[in-house]
Amino acid sequence: MFNYLALLNPKTSLKVIKIGTSVFMLLGIFMAFKVWTLNHLFPVLKVFEKLPAISNNITVAALLILILLLVVSLFWQHSSIYWGILALTMLLLSQDYMRWQPWIYMYGLMFVSFLFDKKSSADKTLFLLRIILSATYFWAGFHKLNPYFINTFPLDLSNDLIRFFQIEHPWLIYKLRYFGYLIPLIEIGIALGLWTVNYRKLAVFAALITHLIILIFQAQGGVHYFGVVYPWNLFMMFLVWILFYQPSKMPTIQKIKKSKLTLLIILLVWVLPILNGFGLWHNYASFKLYTGNDTYLFAIVSEGDLNRYFPHLKKQTFEPAPELVNAFQIQPNEHVVSFYHWTIDELSLPLNLNKASLAQLQNYIHTFDSQFSEPIRFL
């Protein structure tokens, strides 16, 4: 099957990708369905303060029509369908910041590319998709080159090894977590290697192995499990094989310069993510994923208040480290609630915060202040 996909002609390849994009976007929506509705306890985080909120009925109607259009696009790949998909997606995104996810951004860019596809321009559209996919790998790796990354997946893996092998000298394994920096270097290498003649296929196989490792690591019951990761990673495996395994027709520099759409896509996925380092471009639009220096939020709540007002968050508490206990004077009858685990448990998505949404979330919790027996504190 994989060999068949790699040998498709450009028009057929593009059609398969169009269908695949709709299929995997549908899967992503269904696996994180609650966030696309208003039927959840986690507060809605407004994207624009002055933008009026739409009702639950309109939200449900927009979502159902979006799903319908995605299903129709499996059989009829027409620009009018893609315009509808993009319009409804933008409407739903404008209502809740938690819906702003990297896979939605990637699918959106792909649908934009499909809009301008003509019968004679399949190669051009495929080139745009290659630009988007390779940028995803590059920036995902680049943003992990920070001192905090090794305390995420590499540290979790180290802890698993310590427990599994019952190692008496865990300091050795903790030192090995520094090998975790190979991960971002591999991702950057994949992004660059995909554009070379000699290393293209090696980069494709490296990408496939990387996604398989992610899928295993994200297995249900594993660390930081949220199912929406599955369709996106499977889709990227599907994409990297179709787009890069076989040699492709490259446009000339002159044609690239003349194509406003190509320049726009390059700007969005290769240039603007640079601004993320200055806080001027969104994390997920920069493909900044699981880097260890993301924004998190924890709350210290008394046991009585937790039972009375947030019983649904009992599963999202954790035992704080002694350093935290001392620094924040956490009492024995107090619990630390992880909002990150709240969103994963209820919405099947990681917590997505910027300064504005962080303030909104804190203000939401503070609305209970008058009822709390003790003031809530944030970490």
Q: What is the pLDDT of residues 160-194, one digit of tens each?
A: 777 777 777 767 767 777 888 889 999 999 999 99
233 and 348 co-located in one domain: no
Do 132 and 272 have their domain in common? yes
Same domain, 218 and 312: no
192-220: pLDDT as tens digits:
999 999 999 999 999 999 999 888 876 55
**Same-domain pairing of 155 and 247:** yes
Residue that is written with structure tokens 């000298």 in the block? 169
Q: In the chain, what percentage of residues exceed pLDDT 70?
A: 94
Nearest to 157 by CA among 210, 211, 216, 228: 216
For the cut 60, the answer to whether the pLDDT of residue 127 exceeds it is: yes
DSSP 199: S
Using one digit for the tens of pLDDT, what is the confidence trace for 231-243?
999 999 999 999 9
Residue 64 domain-assigned?
no
CA dist., res. 112 & res. 177, Å (int): 40
The residue ranking higher by pLDDT, 175 or 146, is 146
Question: Is 271 found in the same domain as 130?
Answer: yes
Same domain, 234 and 203: yes
Alpha-carbon Rg for the chain in angstroms: 22
Q: Which distant-in-sequence residues (6+ apart) come within 8 Å of 228 by Cβ?
A: 28, 31, 32, 101, 103, 348, 349
Say if residue 148 is exposed, middle or buried (CB neighbours under 10 Å; 0-12, 13-18, 19+): exposed
Percent of the chain with pLDDT over 90: 48
In a domain, 35, yes or no: no
* Residue 330, domain extent: 298-378
Position 314 in a domain? yes
pLDDT bucket at 119, cuts 50 / 70 / 90: low
Domain count, the chain: 2
Residues 231 and 254 in one domain: yes
Read off the pLDDT band of 226 (50, 70, 90): low
- On whether both 134 and 160 belong to a single domain, the answer is yes
Task: Mark whether 276 and 326 lie in a shared domain.
Answer: no
- Asked if residue 274 belongs to a domain, the reply is yes
- Does the residue 337 lie in any domain? yes
pLDDT of res. 162: 75
Q: What digits encode the pLDDT tens for the residues 275-314? A: 998 888 989 899 998 888 888 888 888 888 888 888 888 8
Q: Are residues 129 and 258 in the same domain?
A: yes
Determine the pLDDT at residue 121. 82
Residues 304 and 272 both lie in one domain: no
Q: What is the pTM of this model?
A: 0.90
Give the pairing of strands 334-338 and 317-318.
Answer: antiparallel
Is 89 within 8 Å of 22 (Cβ atoms)? no
93 belongs to a structural domain: no
The Cα 187–Cα 185 span in angstroms is 5
21 burial level (CB within 10 Å; 0-12, 13-18, 19+): buried
**pLDDT at residue 5, rounded to an integer:** 58
- Residue 1's pLDDT band (boundaries 50, 70, 90)? low
204 with 309, same domain: the answer is: no
- Average pLDDT over the chain reads 87
Q: Is residue 26 part of a domain?
A: no
| 101 in a structural domain | no
76 φ, ψ (degrees, to nearest 5): -140, 100
